[in-house]
Amino acid sequence: MINYGIDDGDLIVVDRAKIPHSGNIVVAVVDGEYTVKALYQTNDELMLKAGNPDYPNIVPRQGQILEIWGVVTSCIKRFS
């Protein structure tokens, strides 16, 4: 998520009560695997956009299990 200011080793704060909206950074569970991506939703399509060019965007396929686990509200940087 380096393009969104979240670097390896950073801590994120996740609000599980917040309703996710298009453009939010979310923690999602895709087929049992956790991932942090930006949520984008149009009328009929949902996409989890990667914030790092080394990782692919996720467009859920039919039959794939997707859960938005929570909305990222803060990022805490570590300096050591």
Range of the domain at 25: 2-76
CB 72 within 8 A of CB 14: yes
What pLDDT sits at residue 20? 96
pLDDT in tens, 24-39: 999 999 999 999 999 9
What pLDDT sits at residue 33? 95
User: Any idea what the CATH number is for the domain that residue 38 is in?
Assistant: 2.10.109.10
Residue 78 pLDDT > 90: no
Number of domains the chain is built from: 1
